[in-house]
Structure 1
Amino acid sequence: MTMPSDLDISRSTTLKPLEEIAGELGIGAHLLEPYGRHVAKIPLEALSELPAEPRAKYVVVTAITPTPLGEGKTTTTVGLGQALRHLGQRSAIAIRQPSMGPTFGIKGGAAGGGYSQVVPMESLNLHLTGDMHAVTAAHNLLAAVVDNHLHKGNKLGIDPHRVTWRRVLDVNDRDLRNVITGLGTRADGQPRQSGFDITAASEVMAVLALSTSLHDMRARLGRIVVGYTRSGSPVTAEELGVAGAMTVIMREAIKPNLMQTTENTPVLVHAGPFGNIAHGNSSIVADQIATRAADIVVTEAGFGADMGAERFFNIKCRNSGLAPDAAVLVATVRALKAHSGRYKVVAGKPLPERLLAENPEDVLAGAANLRKQIENIRLHGVSPVVAINAFPTDHPSEHEAIREFAEAEGARVAVSNHFGEGGKGALDLAEAVLEAAKEPRLFRPLYPDEMDLRTKIETVATQVYGAAGVSFQPAAARALADYEACGFGRLPVCIAKTHLSLSSDPALVGAPTGWTLPVREVRASAGAGFVYPICGDMRTMPGLGSSPAAEHIDIDAHGQVVGLS
């Protein structure tokens, strides 16, 4: 029998009134601000009406190093949250908001899939409540004020060649990566080279995700560094006098969005920071609300455990004060086979036929990546649970190979069929997670605040990525010294590297050793509160493929969206 499309499943779901969904969490209807019938914002005043201290078990979902096709972390997050509800737990789910760039590009939407998705999927993937647009507007207001300041006399002495604040847009558009602004007459501004990033890569988005209150967001926006004077002093949004106006634009965006799953489990959708140059996790305020309202909260960290989970542990938890009780490590047969180095997986193209054939040996040939990611979770004192995200093309012998390998590494393991069966298909996973969450909480960050930036980078590179060492280009070494002098030395680090390998080279699969992490540049996100070294060529404005999803999305004769995936 052919399984219905995600969009058909979403539309066939019987949705409950959001007042009922919120009521399950002890959130009164007076605390909901409806955006249509199926989405509502939760004002931060809810925190004063909920218990003062977090009471929920706190679980993060991460993964082995993914293939370009992704391995189903969001679907697993949703399926696990639904399964926990089947076991009598009052569960809540917290995820990021999708960017419309990938939605109309290669990836498609990010609502989960099958019978484990957030609904309505059209609402989630398209605009939602306008948070993305608020981030775009606040970011670009600051960019406009910077250029206006240069045009109107430049009282702060900003070096036009050291302006670091670009513009953003929530689309994939490679032609905007590098632009010249201010062309035309003298009244049209001062010409200089700049460019656009995607909105998810904006530091304003990272600020939104890491803020703990409206006033904390106001302070963080003020600390954003837009460039440097000729003498090397940083210039902030506060000095330009625009942080207050940015906060006003973001005033509604800081409120988390409430939705539900195909099984009516509560979902808080909030913020969508980029997973490469930012920390790739949903918001702290959503988790603050959820952990005070539910028995167990399941949240998702972007990319593999070396990326999103490392940043969840060392950036998000450091800011929130919340400590995880367990971590789910999503693994798939196809991804482990890809890590054997015997197959090439390309985004937008069918999987190689040989990769779909039964072959446990290929699975084990790529299992070094699974071993390292289990180790990366344990480095932070968190108990790992390996979730084998099952696909119809898998074979029982391949699942058994993963189970035996992971159990030998000391991890709990469960096969999960949440995509096709919803929460019932993830019951074994939910039981394993509850067992792991009962263990004594031993969470610890990887490094202390007082460690210098260079050593923090080396610690992540060698202990999490498995690098033999780190090489710093002269420009990167100078930037690190400058940031220490500017008082940024206590900030955590967010290393920007490829998500397709534990290393900085996307072609190196498995768990490579003996390589050196090349740091060519270091930038500061002083408002968000981290320093990010850049290792390799990071694209902060994606491009469109030869057949983008936008070509297949339309409305039908009844005005319904079609082609969204």
Structure 2
Amino acid sequence: MNRNKKYKSDIDIAQQVSLFPIKQLAENYLELNDDEFELFGKYKAKLSLQILERLKNKPSGKVVLVTSINPTPAGEGKSTVTVGLAQALNQLNKRAIVALREPSLGPTLGMKGGATGGGYSQVLPMDDINLHFTGDLHAITTANNALAAFIDNHIHQGNEVGIDPRRIIWKRVLDLNDRALRYITIGLGGPTHGVPREDHFDITVASEIMAILCLADSLADLRSRLAEVVIGYTYSNKPVTVADIGYEGALTLILKEAIKPNLVQTLEHTPAIIHGGPFANIAHGCNSLLATKMAAKLGDYVVTEAGFGADLGAEKFLNIKARIGKIHPSGVVIVATIRALKMHGGLKKNDLQQENTAALILGFSNLKKHIETIKSFGLPYVVAINKFITDTDKEIKTILDWCHDNSHPAALCEVWEHGGKGGIDLAKKLLKTIDEEQNQFKHLYDTASSIKQKIFNIANIVYGATGVQYTSKAEKQMNDFDQFGWSQLPICMAKTQYSLTDEAHVLGRPENFTITIREFKISLGAGFIVAITGNIMTMPGLPKKPAALSMDVNDEGLATGLF
């Protein structure tokens, strides 16, 4: 990259691309029948679940997971690498498909901006995808809040099953960052307005319904999972499920279109299936199981990503999603940037443009830990060094030499500037690694183990923690969960994405630390227990100057400032 060259914004690049009509992509590349996709405008489509039934006996393609080091404000570009790698595989005449999560409006309008890749490795139409897309997140929000309304109405109308209003655990959600809604009071105004109680809002991507949609393998499975959702407890502390109040059918009806994966395309017309969007710091961080499995049936390679670093998204993909979906990944790409590694080595964001190999070398400890994590799962891997314009030749040589000296397969990745062409070296290195390295994939814990043992395995093997502490509330919840027969579920850790610890400011590779479990949340319908650490928030707030301040639409209806 030329440091002095003026580069176009992502949205400028996106708006200058001539897209293929999605019907053409569906019929010619994916070889779908007319009744297997529904057009959602000219460049988007919903995919029928009948595709999986038709192709059930066809061997599945290879699944490649893209993860990264712990993210920093300097940026890692994981989605960009995911898109660019798929484009590169197609340039090598490999039939590749991208499988990604849907962006949330919360971070889009807040701090992060758009989430569809960048530069010449984007999924399009990026403005539609970053905004309302095909309405999936709105449907999930509606289903979640409909259930909340059904619960309050059930209590108001006589409370037949004896729900204790003080023990309702089902929260309302909104697909926005809004700290003012974290703690609210509802039902005020007298007897005709319901039963007064405290309530809370989460962001939509933290809703259990999002997790359920992303882990269900059929409409029938969706319905049965919704029926198992625990909404609260009775006065005698017995769990109450959706099935107990009878609304699983209505919730399934609301979600009957949202369960269908969405088909779009990359800038180079590689098919992209985008569906579901749980965050990895407060949920399980992977796109839908249906999307990944459908992509595996339709392509020879599926390039998918999991949110944030390997300590969060990759761990959950491999311990939760792969377990539930019986997916055996073929390989992992670990994305790192010189900028982020220098921050993990102690530099401040304002100093990153200056060459500093000493800080870079110190930052290697974070990358090394994530490599160790992937190796602990028994999977072959490649390090993708995502190049930024501020990287110097000396810094690039330093990280490539470190990878070579430590026998870590690595490739410089320039997909932001050059699209698929900039990922050819990475694609070749990945194909070689998959073919030559042993794949001994395994989960890091047995679900039959105790809750504490599963959490220790994650904290110790993945984070490098020496121990785990529990609050008295968490201890009581574990005892209750054991009595209810829930202790054999997988664990979904809710932890800051910025650090291997549960303290966001601790960068690099800390040692001799413990993780504190503040409380648990049961997600019985999704099929896991959420362990909440530190000060993790399930309803984020907006920054002082939200990204929305730069967003607008011109007189021709084109978005500006989206990213």
TM-score for the superposition, normalised by structure 2: 0.97
Deviations 1:150-179 (A, max 9, x none): 111212111111111110111111111110
Corresponding letter in the other structure for 2:52: L
Asked if 1:465 corresponds to 2:469, the answer is no
| 1:60-75 aligned within 5 A | 60-75=65-80
Equivalent position SS for 1:77 = helix
Determine the structure 2 residue equivalent to 1:18. Answer: 22
- Distance in 1 between the 2:56 and 2:406 partners? 38
Report matched runs for 1:253-264 at 5 Å.
253-264=258-269
1:495 partner SS: strand
Distance 1:490 1:29 in 2: 43
Q: Is the 8 A contact 1:51 1:293 kept in 2?
A: no
Provide the secondary structure at the position in 2 that maps to 1:367. Answer: helix
Provide the residue aligned with 1:558 in structure 2: 556
CA distance, structure 2, for counterparts of residue 137 and residue 496 of structure 1? 24
Give the aligned residue type for 1:549: A
Q: Which of the numbers 484, 494, 508 marks the counterpart of 1:510?
A: 508
Deviation of the 1:229 alpha carbon: 1.3
CA distance in 2, matches of 1:547, 1:503: 28
Deviations 1:3-60, CA, capped at 9 Å, x for gaps: 2211111111121121332231232333110110000000100112225244311100
Alignment partner of 1:9 is 2:27: no
* 1:52 and 1:292 in contact (8 A); partners too: no
User: 1:94–1:298: 8 Å Cα contact kept in structure 2?
Assistant: yes
- In structure 1, stretches of 5+ residues that fail to align are 345-350
Partner in structure 2 of residue 523 of structure 1? 521
Letter in 1 for 2:380: S
Question: Could you tell me which of 207, 210, 234 is aligned with 1:202?
Answer: 207
1:30 to 24, 35, 46: 35
Deviation at 1:554, TM superposition (A): 1.6
Pick which of 440-449 and 241-250 moved more.
Answer: 440-449
Query: Pairwise mapping of residues 211-360 of structure 1 onto structure 2 (< 5 A)?
Result: 211-341=216-346, 343-344=347-348, 351-352=349-350, 354-360=351-357
Correspondence list, 1:68-107, <5 A: 68-107=73-112
Aligned-pair CA distance for 1:509: 1.0
Matched, 1:479 2:477: yes
1:291-321 CA distance string (max 9 Å, x none): 1111110000000001000000000001111
SS of the equivalent of 1:239 reads: helix
The answer for the alignment partner of 1:147 in structure 2 is: 152
Q: Which residue of 1 aligns with 2:366?
A: 369
* Conserved 8 A contact 2:502-2:534: yes
Q: Report the Cα distance in structure 2 between the residues aligned to 1:434 and 1:451, rounded to whole angstroms.
A: 36
Question: How far apart, CA to CA, are the structure 2 residues paired with 1:305 and 1:562?
Answer: 33
Moved more, 90-99 or 537-546: 537-546
8 Å contact kept, 1:371–1:406: no
Indicate conservation of the 8 Å contact 2:261/2:273, yes or no.
yes
The alpha carbon displacement at 1:325 in A equals 0.6
| Helix, strand or coil at the partner of 1:358 | coil
Q: Give runs of ≥4 in structure 1 deviating > 4 Å.
A: none
**Shift in Å, 1:559:** 2.2
Deviation at 1:404, TM superposition (A): 2.3
Counterpart of 1:494 in structure 2 is: 492
CA distance in 1, matches of 2:75, 2:283: 19
Counterpart residue number, 1:384 = 381
Q: What is the CA–CA distance in structure 1 between the aligned matches of 2:165 and 2:405, rounded to whole Å? A: 57
Partners in 2 of 1:527 and 1:68 — Cα distance?
34
Give the structure 1 partner of residue 431 of structure 2: 434
Name the aligned partner's letter for residue 3 of structure 1. Answer: Y
Q: Distance in 1 between the 2:297 and 2:431 partners? A: 18
Q: Distance in 2 between matches of 1:410 and 1:524?
A: 42
The CA deviation at 1:406 is 2.5
Distance 2:282 2:110 in 1: 20
Cα RMSD (Å): 1.2
Instruction: Give the Cα separation in 2 of the matches to 1:322 and 1:236.
Output: 29
Tell me the residue number matched to 1:449. 447
Q: For 1:395, which of 392, 412, 421 is the aligned residue?
A: 392
Letter in 2 for 1:410: S
Distance 2:547 2:356 in 1: 33
User: After superposition, what is the alpha-carbon deviation per residue over 1:304-352, rounded to whole angstroms, capped at 9, x for unaligned?
Assistant: 00100000000000111111010000000111111112x23xxxxxx31
| Count of residues paired in the alignment | 557
Aligned position for 1:348: none
Deviates more, 1:266-275 or 1:24-33: 24-33
Conserved? CA contact 1:26–1:50, under 8 Å: no
Tell me how far apart the structure 2 counterparts of residues 286 and 95 of structure 1 sit (CA, whole Å). 8
Report the AA paired with residue 184 of structure 1. Answer: G
Separation in structure 1 between the aligned mates of residue 417 and residue 69 of structure 2, nearest angstrom: 22
Question: In the alignment, which residue of structure 2 is the partner of 1:347?
Answer: none
Shift in Å, 1:542: 1.4
Name the SS of the counterpart of 2:370 in structure 1. Answer: helix
Q: Matched residues in 2 for 1:408 and 1:378: separation? A: 17
Structure 2 Cα separation of the partners of residues 507 and 547 of structure 1: 21
Are 1:159 and 2:159 an aligned pair? Answer: no
What code does the residue aligned with 1:552 have?
S
Residue 264 of structure 1: SS of its match in structure 2? Answer: coil
Which letter maps to 1:507?
Answer: H
Partner residue, 2:196: 191
**Deviation (angstroms), 1:389:** 0.4
SS at 2:328 equivalent: coil
Partner SS state of residue 447, structure 2? coil
Given the superposition, is the C-alpha separation of residues 93 and 237 from structure 1 closer, same or farther in structure 2, using an over 3 Å criterion? Answer: same
The answer to whether the 8 A contact 2:74-2:340 is kept is: no
Asked whether the 8 Å contact 2:520–2:532 carries over to 1, the reply is yes
Whether the 8 Å CA contact 1:340–1:510 is kept in 2: the answer is yes
CA contact (8 A) 2:379 2:438 kept: no
Question: Shift of the alpha carbon at 1:409?
Answer: 3.6
- C-alpha deviations, 1:362-397, integer Å up to 9, x for none? 111111111100000011111111000000100122
Deviation at 1:69, TM superposition (A): 4.5
